[in-house]
A = this chain, B = another copy of it.
Amino acid sequence: MNIASFLKGTKLLSGLSDGEISAIAAMTRIIEVPARHVLFEEGRTCDGFYALFSGRVKIFKQNESGKEQILHMAYPGETFAEAALFAGGRFPASAETMEESTLVFMPAGPFLERLHEDPKLCIELLSGVTTWLRKLVDLVEDLSLRDVQARLSAFLLRECRKRGFEPVAGASIPLRMRKADLARHLGTAGETLSRTFNKMSAEGILRVARDEVLILKPEELVRS
């Protein structure tokens, strides 16, 4: 792969000039790892951040009894852990690959130096971190103020928009993850998610296939 052109395709670095990109590309290291590989664990000192080239990575928290909350599911082209570089420099969550994956690793030191000289990069990073912030505020809203059905609805709507279309009847949404993981993403249990899908199917709001959801009544999704 051509690292520079891949990096240019990430949202974080898309605003930079070719010169800036290649300066950054020169600092990186390519990492190829199998599925279920731990990239970093909550609390560890952050030594850099990642851009995902291929595969899939979950970023999550876990409590003592093993319950897991997925904060984010990263897909190719996304960067993650940028924010861990600042204010303490520890990872606030853990990350693990879900499939065999290829990543570009950006070491903290050189990147931070570069950051001090490059205000444009700095602003890009700022807006990247802000996007994370919004995502987390949404997650808090979901967990605290919505029941499971409403969370699932909100998730499906977000997935629609992420794919660039407004929710219309007949739209099909690929889930891109196992249902058990979707459950952990929504902060619930697999069994509860299964029942919620059932209930919504019975109400004619949607139809569930193995790995995709068919929207039948988009207006009902919006309402909850």
Contact = CB atoms under 8 A, between A and B. Distances in A.
B137 A61 contact: yes
A127 B87 contact: yes
Interface in A167-189: 187
Interface stretch (A20-28, A63-71, A207-215): A63-71
Contact of A125 (B71, B126, B131): B126
A93 interface: yes
B140 A61 contact: yes
A143 B143 contact: yes
The number of times this chain is found in the oligomer is 2
Contacts of A86: 126-127, 130
Nearest to A115: B123
A33 interface: no
Q: Is the interface of A mostly helix, strand, loop or mixed?
A: helix
A122 interface: yes
Contact of A122 (B119, B131, B136, B140): B119
Contacts of A84: 130
A63 B146 contact: yes
Contact of A139 (B83, B87, B130, B140): B140
Contacts of A122: 119, 122-123, 126
B144 A187 contact: yes
